[in-house]
Amino acid sequence: MYNRLLTSEDLVDFYKEVATENYRTKFPHRDLWYNHDDAILKWISILREFKSIGGKNLKVVDLGAGPASLPHIISSLGHDVTAIDIADIDHLVNQSLVKMVLGDVLYELKEIPDESVDVFIDSCAVTHFDPSGYSENKGWRDVAYGVSRALKSGGRFILSSDVDLNATDGEFITPQRIIDIMTENNLKLTSPFVMSQNNLKTCPWPVVTLTFEKCE
- How far CA 203 is from CA of 122, 163, 200, in Å, comes to 20, 12, 6
118 and 102 Cβ atoms separated by less than 8 Å = no
CB burial of 13-41 (b: ≥16 within 10 Å; e: otherwise) equals ebeeebeeeebeeebebbeebbeeebbbb
Total domains, the chain = 1
Euclidean distance between CA atoms 64 and 45, whole angstroms: 17
CB burial of 81-113 (b: ≥16 within 10 Å; e: otherwise) equals bbbbbbeebebebeebebebbeeebbebbeebe
Supply the range of the domain harboring residue 46.
4-214
- How far CA 8 is from CA of 38, 40, 48, 204, in Å, comes to 11, 11, 17, 6
Tens digits of pLDDT across the chain (216 residues):
799 999 888 999 999 999 999 988 888 765 567 778 888 899 999 999 999 999 999 999 999 887 778 998 999 999 999 999 887 665 544 557 888 888 888 889 999 999 999 999 998 777 666 655 556 667 888 899 999 999 999 999 999 988 888 776 667 788 898 999 999 999 999 999 987 666 666 666 789 999 999 997
190 and 157 Cβ atoms separated by less than 8 Å = no
CATH number at 96 reads 3.40.50.150
Q: How far apart are the two ends of the chain, measured CA to CA in Å?
A: 22
**Coil, strand or helix: which one is 174?**
coil
